[in-house]
Amino acid sequence: MARTNPRTKPARNEVARSGEEAPNSVWFKPVMFGFMLLGLAWIIVFYVSQSQLPIAALGSWNIMVGFGIAFVGFLMTTRWR
């Protein structure tokens, strides 16, 4: 097993990345787009069902719930690398 000298600089392709510069996990992009599409689908279902779905007791607040879910997806885009 070869030992490396701790005083030497790492090779160019071995440079450690900090948390800020590291690429996102594999699941990040599908979850991000999933939130955006789920929020859009929530609003569409609300309009198409004429205020009966997804949760009839919320009434017009279903629009805010849909926008809130989609907003989480849009907030995730600020962390996408």
Longest CA pairwise span in the chain (Å): 70
Its pTM stands at 0.72
Q: pLDDT, tens digit, for every residue of 31-70?
A: 999 999 999 999 999 999 998 999 999 999 999 999 999 9
> Taking a C-beta distance cutoff of 8 angstroms, is the pair 80, 28 a contact?
yes
Q: Which two tokens stand for residue 33?
A: 């787009």
When computed from its CA atoms, the radius of gyration of the chain, rounded to whole angstroms, is 22
Cα–Cα distance measured from residue 27 to residue 47, given in angstroms and rounded to the nearest whole number: 30
Which has more confidence, 38 or 11?
A: 38
User: Is the sign of the CA dihedral 46, 50, 55, 60 positive or negative?
Assistant: positive
